[in-house]
Chain A
Amino acid sequence: MTLPAAAIDEWYPVAMAPDRPLRPDQETTLLGERVRVLLDGQEPRVEANDGRNLPVIVRHGHVWTSLGAPKHDLFAIPEGEQPGRRLVECGAIRVRCSPLRAVENFLDIAHFPFVHTDILGSEPHTEVNRYEVRIREEVDEVWATKVTFYQPQAAKSAQGGITTEYMYRVPHPTCSVLYKTCPPRPGEWDIITLFVQPLEEDLCQVWPWMALFDDQTPQADLIQFQQMIFLQDRSILENQIPRLLPLDPGMEMPTRADLTSVAYRRWLKKRGYHYGAQLVAA
């Protein structure tokens, strides 16, 4: 299969950064091709199946690579650099779904009461208030702002229910950054990201990463909380039909609560990013 440039010339996460335990020679898959993550001393190196060295960036707690030659840098998360943040890598969760479905689910809040019951949402607090979505042309990113939702336990550090405010940013076809009300530090945002490694069109590996203001909760509890949330999501993601994300309208029916998903699909289509997508014409 010949992959389109939009998918090839892009950065993807393939491992946690080497300050975390990394097996010295790790095989993985990227866009259907086998790649190896190696360590040259402290420096990670990524090798393609044919032995050629692939470009590497170590950023946001992960090792990123590309099968092609990206003309752009990997996106930045400036707020993640603020002093006092806990940086938490959560490992990988493999999901039998399109990488794009995994991102779209991350952008969705309406499922909280039903999939993350009594944690990120609960009945009867199911209403999704109006929020704002736009494609910021100057940076070519999708942004959703003023997203609010009532949550029984918004974070590991939350005591009781609060109305949480969210901002979603999609700077990359398979990555999203979530800015979320920070219970112990009002006025600041906690950062939770979803970095998705496309293994195949309908198989992916999700690398959640967090940059939090929380110096109380043990690391293991923070990771366990995220893993619980993503495992609940996996029970949905592996049972959507079709597995690929339909980019053309008609196959699925959005409402006002899905404006972020609508913008995300439109943005993917405009960029010609079809890996993991289903097009009517195809």
Chain B
Amino acid sequence: MASVCGTLEVAVWRSASGRVAAWVDRCPHRGMRLSHGFVRGEMLSCIYHGWRFDGAGRCRKIPAHPDLDPPETIRTQSLACLDAQGVIWIASEAPAVAPPDLGNVVPLRSLTFEAGIDAVAAMTGEVPDRSLLRLDAHGPVPPLVLLLQALGPGRSAVHALAAPTGTGALVAASRALEDFRRRTEAQGIAA
């Protein structure tokens, strides 16, 4: 799938065995977005010419030349990528620290907001520039953790995790998130 890391456009994918990888969203051959590609087993194939890349980003197969063993220099531009606590984390360079401990939560859903991350944080009463928000339980809605990802100046992705609870409460949390999104986007229009 297509994602964003700062100003970099990124392709994130998971292999058949569950391994995740994140690359700059561009095939080294003719610049096609790799996020349009398809996964076969442990490889990602570019949709344009079918060039196949392994989990480390090295080109393993060029279908136009089936007998060629592609040189080692043909590779995608990799980002650091980690699958932990139900979240895929990416960074343009491997950070020295591990992702923050989210506590006892399970993944709920990811939503795209037509609002920048500062506007999303401000709506929760948090100061801007915080990408991890913890919301207390509210009525039937369990405690939530929101991870904010900037997709652009006026766009963000909100990855929500919830304290483990019954299905009814998770549905309520999901509805509450949609309501939160409506209010946040309306705020942007009003401003």
A114 in the interface, Cβ–Cβ < 8 Å?
A: yes
Q: Which of B37-58 contact A (CB under 8 A)?
A: 45-50
Choice from A111, A124, A251 contacting B49 with Cβ under 8 Å: A111
Nearest neighbor of A114 in chain B, beta-carbon distance = B50
A252-B63 contact given A111-B49, A115-B48, CB 8 Å threshold: no
Given known contacts A114-B47, A236-B47, A236-B48, is B63 in contact with A241 (CB within 8 Å)? no
The residue of chain A having its C-beta at the shortest distance from the C-beta of B65 within the complex is A255
A252–B63 Cα distance when bound, in Å, is: 17
With A110-B49, A114-B48 given, is the CB distance from A253 to B64 under 8 Å? no
A239 touches B36 (CB 8 A): yes
Bound together, the chains give a CA A223 to CA B97 distance in angstroms of: 58
B10 to chain A, nearest CB (A): 12
A188 interface residue (CB < 8 Å to B): no
Q: Which residues of A contact B64 (CB under 8 A)?
A: 110, 126-128, 255-257
A114-B49 contact in complex given A126-B63, A252-B29, A252-B31, C-beta closer than 8 Å: yes
Interface string of A226-259 (1 = CB under 8 A from B): 0000000001100111100010000111111100
Residues of B within 8 A of A257 (CB): 64-65
Is B74 positioned at the interface, with any CB of A under 8 Å from its CB?
Answer: yes
Q: Is the CB of A113 within 8 A of B47?
A: no
- Chain A interface helix/strand/loop/mixed: loop
Cα distance, A25 to B19, chains bound together (Å) = 58
B33 at the interface (CB under 8 A from A): yes
What total of A-B pairs shows CB separation below 8 Å?
A: 67
Our pick among B36, B66, B74 for the contact of A127 (Cβ within 8 Å) is B66
A110 to B50, CA, bound (A): 9
Whole-angstrom distance from the CB of A118 to the nearest CB of chain B? 14
User: Which of A108, A110, A253 contacts B74, CB < 8 Å?
Assistant: A253
Q: Report which of B25, B47, B66 forms a contact with A241, defined as CB distance below 8 A.
A: B25
Inter-chain CA distance A235–B33, complex, in Å, is: 11
A201 to B33, CA, bound (A): 20
Bound Cα distance from A111 to B26, whole angstroms: 16
Contact A252 B65, beta carbon cutoff 8 Å:
no
In this complex, what residue of A is CB-closest to B33? A239
Cross-chain contact A113 with B31 (CB below 8 angstroms): no
Q: Is the CB of B50 within 8 A of A113?
A: yes
Beyond the given A111-B48, A252-B29, could you list 20 further A-B residue pairs with CB under 8 A, ordered by the A residue number? A110-B64, A113-B50, A114-B45, A114-B46, A115-B48, A128-B65, A236-B32, A236-B47, A236-B48, A239-B33, A240-B30, A240-B33, A241-B32, A246-B31, A252-B31, A253-B28, A253-B74, A255-B62, A255-B64, A256-B64
Enumerate chain B interface residues (CB-CB to A < 8 A).
9, 25-26, 28-33, 36, 45-50, 62-66, 68, 74
- A-B residue pairs, 8 tightest by C-beta: A126-B63, A257-B64, A110-B64, A128-B64, A240-B31, A239-B33, A114-B50, A241-B31
Q: Identify 29 residue pairs between A and B in the complex whose beta-carbon atoms are under 8 Å apart, listed by A's number.
A: A108-B49, A110-B49, A110-B63, A111-B48, A114-B48, A114-B50, A115-B48, A123-B63, A124-B66, A126-B50, A126-B64, A126-B66, A127-B64, A127-B66, A236-B32, A236-B47, A239-B32, A239-B36, A240-B30, A240-B31, A241-B25, A241-B26, A246-B31, A252-B29, A252-B30, A255-B29, A256-B64, A256-B65, A257-B64
Residues in A lying within 8 Å of B, measured CB to CB: 108, 110-111, 113-115, 123-124, 126-128, 235-236, 239-242, 246, 251-257
